[in-house]
Chain A
Amino acid sequence: MPKTLTYLEAISEGLREEMRRDGTVFLLGEDIGTYGGAFKVTKGFTEEFGQDRVIDTVLAEAAIVGAATGAAIAGMRPVAEMQFADFVTNGFNQLVNITAKYHYRNFIPVPLVVRLPSGGGIHGGPFHSTNPEAWFFHTPGLKIVAPSTPYDAKGLIKSAIRDPNPVLYFEHKYLYRHAKAEVPDDEYLVPIGKADVKRGGSDIAVITYGTGVHWALEAAETVAKEGVEVEVVDLRSLMPFDKEAILTSVKKTGKVLILHEDTLTGGIGGEIAAFISENAFEYLDAPIKRVASPDTPVPYAPTLEEYFLPNTKKVLEALRKLATY
C-alpha cells in the first residue's frame, strides 16, 4: 500500500531505512538528536538508534565535515547535517580540499553524505535561504543531488548513503512540507546521475531541478492550454548531470529554458547551456534561455523575496517568449 508522505517525511524514512539496514550509517549535526533537528527530519531518531548513532555536535561545520570525513575514511557511512545549507561555508575547506580530493590522493573512498537544507521562500533572509550548489558543482570529486519530490527525496538519500563517493544532498526547505506525494512501500532507489522527465512535450524543454520542477510543471499546464507542449526535465542529480537526457530533450524540442532558484551568474544553468550549445547546436531553434534569481543576496522582506525568487509567472513569460520566437 503506497502511503502519502511529505518531502521531509520521505527523507526521514530514507534515513531510517538505511540506518536499520546498515550499522555503519550514523548521523551527526547541530541539534539533530534530542531536539530532532531544526526542521524535525531526525525526530525520534535518538530513541530508535541511540546517541551513538545520532550525534549532537558543537556549532562548528568544519568540525562536523572534518569528523564525518574521517569516519568515512575509517569505513563508516556518516550522514552530516548542515542546519542550513548557507552554513556549509564554514566547512568549505574540509569539503573542497580534503573530502573531495581524498580518494584521488590516497585511493581510499570517502562515502560521506552531507545534507544541506537549502533555498528560499520561507522568509529566512540572506543567511538562511541560499542555494550554494554551484560552488561544489565546480569542485571535482563531489557528487551533488537535489530532489524535487518525496519519491526522489527518499530514493536519492538512500542512493547517496550507498554511494562510495562524497555526496552533497540538497534538500529544499520550501518543499519540506509543500511537496506531498505517494511513495511506494517497497524499497526502491533513485540512481544518481539519472534525470527524470516529469512531463513530456515536443515544443520547449525546461531543464531544471528542485523547486524549479514545480514552477515548470505549473507553467507547462497553463501554456498547454495555449497549444504549447512543454517537456520538464528534472535533473535530480547535478553532478554528474544526465547529459543523455538533456540532449534527448533538446533534440526533441529545439527550444530550451534552463530554470533554477540559485542566482543566475555562475549558476549551474550556464554550464548546462554551454553543454547544449557544444553538443546540440544544430538542433537549436531559439537561443537558450535562463530563468534564475537575480545576482543579489536573498532579501529578507517577504515582498522583496517574492520579487527575487523565480516563480510560475516568470517561467510562463519565458515560455511564451520562446514559443513565439
Chain B
Amino acid sequence: MSKVEVVMPQLGESLTEGTIIKWHKKPGDKVKKDETLLEISTDKVDSEIPSPASGVVTSLLFEEQKTVAVRTVIAEIDTDESAAVVSESPKPAAAAPSREAPKPAAQVMKPASSVQQAPMPQPAPAAGRFYSPLVLNIAREEGISMSELERLPGSGEGGRVSKKDILAYVDRKKTGAPETAQPPMPAMAPSLPSGPPAPRIESTLKHIDTGDLAKKYPSPQYEILQMSNLIQKMADHMVRSKQTSPHVYEVHEVDMTRVDAVRRRNAETFEKREGFKLTYMPFICDAVVNALKQYPIVNSQIEADKIIVKKFVNLGIAVATENGLIVPVIKNADEKNFTGLARAVNDLAVRARSKRLSLADIEGGSFTITNYGGFGAMIGTPIINQPQVAILGIGTIKKRPVVINDAIAIRSISYFTLSFDHRIVDGALGGSFLSSVVHQLEEIDEKRVV
C-alpha cells in the first residue's frame, strides 16, 4: 500500500498552526487529486485544502475545530487504487511531511489535546519553495505559469526545481507526454483579501486537462493558457462578490483643481523630503478615512443577520501588477497623518510591483479604493472586495469646462464611483459618504502644506 500523508499546510510565513474547520471526506471515502479534502482556518486566512493525491482516505487524525501545528500529519490517503494518477512522483510536495512530526495513533478523530508543538524540520518544499533566477526565466520564456511551476516536483536540494527539471517538463509538454504535476501548494494560493468567511460558493472554475481542450481548440488558431493562481482567485472572488452583494453604483463629479494646486505647490519639497512623487492618492485616502469615520456602516461587514462595524480603517488599494490585480492594505490608515498615508501608499505600490508583498500585506482590508483612472477610464463600476460593503473607484482627472457662479471655468474634474452593498448601505448613506469625500477634496485649504 502506498500511503500519502497530508500535512497541515503553512498558509503564511509567520503562521505556526491552523484550525480544521470541516472535513469534506470520511475515512473510506474515495478522493480525487485536487478535490477539496478539508477546510482550514488560520488567524490570517481560510482555505480549502485540495487532496495531494487520488486514492482512498484511510484516516483522519484530528477532529473538526481542532487547532494543529503546521506540517503535522492530519490525514492519510492510500493511493494504490489510482497509482497511475499519482504516477512516478515520489511524494507530493504538498504532503511532504516532517519525519519528526508527531504522528498521532492512526485512529479516526483522535481528540487532539489542543495545540501541538510545531516541529522545526527541514524547510518544507511546499510552502514558499525557492525558484532560481534561471528557472523563473525559463518559465517565463516557455509560458509556464506559477501555478504550473508550483505543481512541478523538484529533484534538487530540498525539492527545488532545477534547470533539468523544468527543461524536462518543457519537453514533456511539447511532446504531449503525461505531466507529473502535483496539486498546487495551498500556501501559495490565497492572494486576495479575506476576513471572516464569506458565504462559501463552489469555485466557478473547474480543472480541465489541456489535452481534451487542444482537440476542441487546435493550435495554431488557438492558444491555451493556464490561469495563474492569482487570476483563478480573482475570477472566483469576483463571481462570489456579485452573487453575494446587490451592487448599487453612485457617481459623483469631483473638482480636483484645488487638490491639484496643493499637490503642485508641494510637489518639489515633498519629493525632496520623502524620496518619491506626491500623487493624488494620499489626498483621496485621507478624505476616505475621514468619511469612513463619519459613516462607519460603510466600514463594516455582514455576518448572518448582524452588521460587524470595524473600529479601524484598513484601506485596500488596488494595484495593477504584471501578474495581475492585487490589493495591498494600509493597516490602521485612520491612525496615519497625511505623510504617513502617502508613505504607505508608495510603499505598498512599490512592493506590489516588485513582488515583495507578504500575505499580511494583502489581507484584512475594511474598505477598498481602485484607481482605474490611470488607464484612462472616466467612470467605472467596480466590484466590491468581499467581505467589505463598498468600494470607491477613481476616474481619470481631466480639465473640463464647468459652470461656477454662472460663468464657465476650466477645472480639473474627476468622476468617483461608489459601489456599495445595498443589503446594508442605501442610497442615502452611500450618497452622504461619497459627498463627504468629494466635499473634503473640493474644499481643501489651498495653502495647505504637506
Q: List residues of chain A with CB under 8 Å of any chain B CB.
A: 254-255, 281-286, 324-325
CB-CB < 8 A to A282: which residues of B?
A: 133-134, 136-137
A286 to B164, CA, bound (A): 12
Assess whether B134 is in contact with A324, with CB atoms less than 8 Å apart. Answer: no
Assess whether A284 is in contact with B157, with CB atoms less than 8 Å apart. Answer: no
Assess whether B156 is in contact with A325, with CB atoms less than 8 Å apart. Answer: yes
B157: which of A254, A255, A325 is its contact (CB, 8 Å)? Answer: A325
Question: Which 6 interchain pairs have the tightest Cβ spacing?
Answer: A285-B134, A285-B163, A282-B137, A285-B132, A282-B133, A254-B134
Q: Is B381 an interface residue (CB 8 A)?
A: no
CB-CB < 8 A to A324: which residues of B?
A: 156-157
Q: How far is the CB of B178 from chain A (nearest CB, A)?
A: 25
Assess whether B133 is in contact with A325, with CB atoms less than 8 Å apart. Answer: no
Known contacts being A254-B163, A325-B162, is A284 close to B156, with CB within 8 Å? no
Q: How far is the CB of A16 from chain B (nearest CB, A)?
A: 48
Residue of B nearest to A251 (CB): B134
Q: Is B144 an interface residue (CB 8 A)?
A: no
B160: which of A255, A283, A325 is its contact (CB, 8 Å)? Answer: A325
A281-B133, A325-B156 provided; 13 other pairs, C-beta below 8 A? Answer: A254-B134, A255-B163, A282-B134, A282-B137, A283-B137, A284-B132, A284-B133, A284-B134, A285-B134, A285-B163, A324-B156, A325-B157, A325-B162
CB-CB < 8 A to B230: which residues of A?
A: none
Q: List residues of chain B with CB under 8 Å of any chain A CB.
A: 132-137, 156-157, 160, 162-163
Interface SS of chain B: helix
Residue of A nearest to B136 (CB): A282
> Mind listing 10 A-B residue pairs with CB under 8 Å?
A255-B163, A282-B134, A283-B134, A284-B133, A285-B133, A285-B162, A285-B163, A324-B156, A325-B157, A325-B160
CB-CB < 8 A to A281: which residues of B?
A: 133
CB-CB < 8 A to B156: which residues of A?
A: 324-325
Q: How far is the CB of B131 from chain A (nearest CB, A)?
A: 10
A153 to B137, CA, bound (A): 40
A254 to B135, CA, bound (A): 10
A255 to B156, CA, bound (A): 13
Residue of A nearest to B158 (CB): A325
CB-CB < 8 A to B136: which residues of A?
A: 282
Q: How far is the CB of B8 from chain A (nearest CB, A)?
A: 28
CB-CB < 8 A to B133: which residues of A?
A: 281-285
Q: How far is the CB of A281 from chain B (nearest CB, A)?
A: 5
CB-CB < 8 A to B162: which residues of A?
A: 285, 325
Residue of A nearest to B163 (CB): A285
A237 to B157, CA, bound (A): 35
Q: How far is the CB of A46 from chain B (nearest CB, A)?
A: 57
A286 to B132, CA, bound (A): 7
CB-CB < 8 A to A255: which residues of B?
A: 163
CB-CB < 8 A to B160: which residues of A?
A: 325
CB-CB < 8 A to B163: which residues of A?
A: 254-255, 285
